[in-house]
Amino acid sequence: MRVIIFSWEYPPRVVGKLADYVRELAVQLVKNEVRVYVVTYHDFLTGLYEEQEGPNTYRITNPVRTHIGVLTWVLTLNQEAERVASNIYYDVAKQIALIDVHDWHFIPAAVTLKKAFDLPFIYSIDSLEDHRAHSANSPFNMAIKSIEWLGMYEAKTILVKSEWMQDEAYRVYKVPIEKVKVVKPESRIWIKDVLEAYTMTGGGSVSK
Amino acid sequence: MDKRRFGSLYNDGWRLRFQMSRRLSVMMMTWEFPPRIVGGISPHVYHLSKSLAKNGVKVYVVTCDFPGAPEHEILDGVEVFRIDSYKNPSPDFATWVYLMNMNLQKEAATIANRVSGKVDIFHAHDWLVASAGVGLKHVFRKPLLVTVHSTEIGRRNGIHSDYQRMIHETESWLTYEAWKVICCSNYMISHVKWAFGLPEDKLTMIPNGVNTEESEKAKNTDLSPFRRKFALPEEKIILFVGRLVYEKGVHVLVSAIPKILEKVNAKFVIVGNGYMKEPLSNTVKSIGLAHKVIFTGFVDDETLRNLQACADVSVVPSLYEPFGIVAIEAMAAKSPVVVSDTGGLSEIVEHDKTGVKVYMNNPDSLAWGTNKVLLDENYAKSMSENAYKMVQEKYNWDKIAEQTKKVYESVLDDYAKSFWTNT
């Protein structure tokens, strides 16, 4: 099974705890015979980085250097994510099972790729705008929420890290609870849960 | 696309495959398309698409929605899709543009997937659809073309803020990603080359067109009752059409009024709105010539065509003009033109043959040119006839579509040699 992982943070670029989580996920997936392609952002360490018995990492930078805010910055960066993911897709003769998108940043790219290639994606929620900016409803916050909503709507599966977040996804976005799977990082069977979700979403067996 | 079945033919070039299977197809991306009209891109894409369709090209247009306009329709042979463009709340215009691109690209990807590889070329118009154009190019591995209608650095006369720089860099990125960049005048070609540092061979000039059918209609009706609403029978009509802003040079015309009236009896009809309207109409009043000047404000298309058909001379005294469509529209209506020698206007008019060129920002020169046309009927007539012929030949949409199709074909020839054809 081949999967693409989208995350806006990944070591050595660590913004919050998401970077280390995605790194651990990628490493564990490789150990379980999943071919992993991580697409992430770095301002200057761009291009492909291959590891012996590890995931492949493609680091992209923003094609537009000047921005007025994080939204415009994210939206032009998405085109590079789309470009790199498309190149991977064609390089492996279209044999990609799914894209796993961590948080909202690369939802736009995942949605376009889904529509173009009939390629399903998983939306893995680490945090929501409603928690990051409590009850803020400026156009800026609402725009981010609308992208999160798009992700919830278009994703085939939503993964969260706690039952609390499962309830929050329902509370904020009215996502049917069956669409949201809990995979607890602290659990001993965490990677098994992730693999199960991947198999359900991408179809077929894991080691293919 | 079923490459296995057509594999060997594919390598022999796309032409062969086309003859066997289907016609060339293009997906146009634009933020405005009739009935949504913001500026000049909307009529441009409409006429270009319609003429391309007439020329055997399958055209899909993906554009923003408009109240009352259908989501999907076939309009004059063109398949139009209108997307929900106000889905996402946006803090400012530029952010709205990028979010709209996210939605446009989502819908365009769905359409392109549904017609399974039958889109050969993506054609974007201005930065307003930049990210969608770049994204679709890579996702479907098809060539991207862009028409640059205007630039941020030109509109703002320089880059003065991060907001403007972001748009400037987006334009630069779009022209970088495009296989070919089309501009509507040689002036714009050199401007775009300078603004984004593009190589010469990436740029192609294809002029903007004018619809002579509409002007034809105006000429075939009796316009004397219409004319009486604006001028006395013995008065000549001097027409200005444009936004009433500094770069359009309407203040130069107002300064020239007394000089023109010294030699001819005329009525000045000034069409358009802008921040200079009030100060200029005050000037006209203060010099006691209010009865000689009419400020009509914004008028509908029909009134405009009729005015152009009635005008004894149309003046275009612009200080900045990337193309100058208004001069060509006047020529199509067989009105003689007087233009300032600048930008796109310099290319359109050949002095003494298709119009009169005068010095830019110079009321004396403008008055001289205007009077020259008004005082010599034979001169005026021969110029307007030459200009009309020239417009029909050069700024004709069928011809422009033909030229555009040639650019598509040459890009597809290049594409056939690239490794993208094997994916």
* Region of poorest pLDDT, from A49-63, A73-87, A129-143, B399-413: A129-143
The whole-number pLDDT of residue B322 equals: 81
Confidence of residue A206 (pLDDT cuts 50, 70, 90): low
Q: Kindly report the average pLDDT of chain B as a whole number.
A: 92
Measured between CB atoms, does A83 come within 8 Å of chain B? Answer: yes
B residues 101-160 lying closer than 8 A (beta carbon) to A: 101-102, 105-107, 109-110, 112-113, 131, 134-135, 138-141
Q: Please list the residues that pair with B120 across neighbouring strands.
A: none
Q: Does residue A74 register a pLDDT over 50?
A: yes
Q: For residue B275, which phi and psi values (nearest 5 degrees)?
A: -70, -15
Contact by Cβ (8 Å): A68, B162: yes
The structure tokens listed for A61 are 């930078």
Kindly tell me if the per-residue pLDDT of B10 is higher than 70: no
Task: Tell me the average pLDDT across B175-182.
Answer: 98
Lowest mean pLDDT among B213-222, B316-325, B356-365: B213-222
- pTM of the complete model: 0.88
pLDDT at B12 over 80: no
Burial A6-45 (b: 16+ CB within 10 A, else e): bbbbbeeeeeeebbebbbebbbbbbebebbbbbbbbbeee
pLDDT for A204: 60
Report whether the peptide linkage leading into residue A108 is cis, meaning its omega lies within 30 degrees of zero: no
User: How big is the CA angle at B369 (ends B365 and B370), to the nearest 5 degrees?
Assistant: 115
User: In chain B, whose CA is at the least distance from the CA of A143?
Assistant: B89
Q: Per-residue pLDDT for B70 more than 80?
A: yes
Cα dihedral A166, A171, A175, A181 in deg (nearest 10): 0
Burial class (CB in 10 A: 0-12, 13-18, 19+), B245: middle
C-alpha angle B307/B311/B315, rounded to 5°? 105
CB contact under 8 A, B173 and A142: no
A112 part of contact set with chain B, CB < 8 Å: yes
- Say if the Cβ atoms of B102 and A108 lie within 8 Å: yes
Which residues of chain A have a CB within 8 Å of the CB of B129? Answer: none
pLDDT band, residue B15 (cuts 50/70/90): low
* Tens digits of residue pLDDT in B76-110: 999 999 999 998 999 999 999 999 999 999 999 99
pLDDT digits (tens, 9 = 90+) for A10-67: 999 999 999 999 999 999 999 999 999 999 999 999 999 999 999 999 999 999 999 9
Cβ proximity of B119 and B153 under 8 Å: no
CA distance B86 to chain A (A): 11
Q: What is the pLDDT of residues A103-149, one digit of tens each?
A: 999 999 999 999 999 999 999 999 999 999 987 889 999 999 999 99
What's the pLDDT at B212?
Answer: 77
Residues of chain A in contact with residue B160, where contact means CB-CB under 8 angstroms, are none
User: Taking the alpha carbons of B407, B322, B135, B50 in that order, is the dihedral positive or negative?
Assistant: negative
Q: What is the mean pLDDT of residues B220-227?
A: 88
Residue (of A75, A67, A70, A90) closest to A4 by Cα position: A90
Give me the sheet containing A180-182, strands edge to edge.
A47-49, A56-60, A35-41, A2-7, A98-102, A121-124, A157-160, A180-182
Q: In the prediction, which pLDDT does B217 show?
A: 74
A74: closest chain B residue by CA: B98
d(CA B215, CA B371): 25
- The answer to whether the Cβ–Cβ distance between A65 and B101 falls below 8 Å is no
| pLDDT for position B6 | 43
B131 and A83 within 8 Å at the Cβ level: the answer is no
**What's the pLDDT at B20?**
45
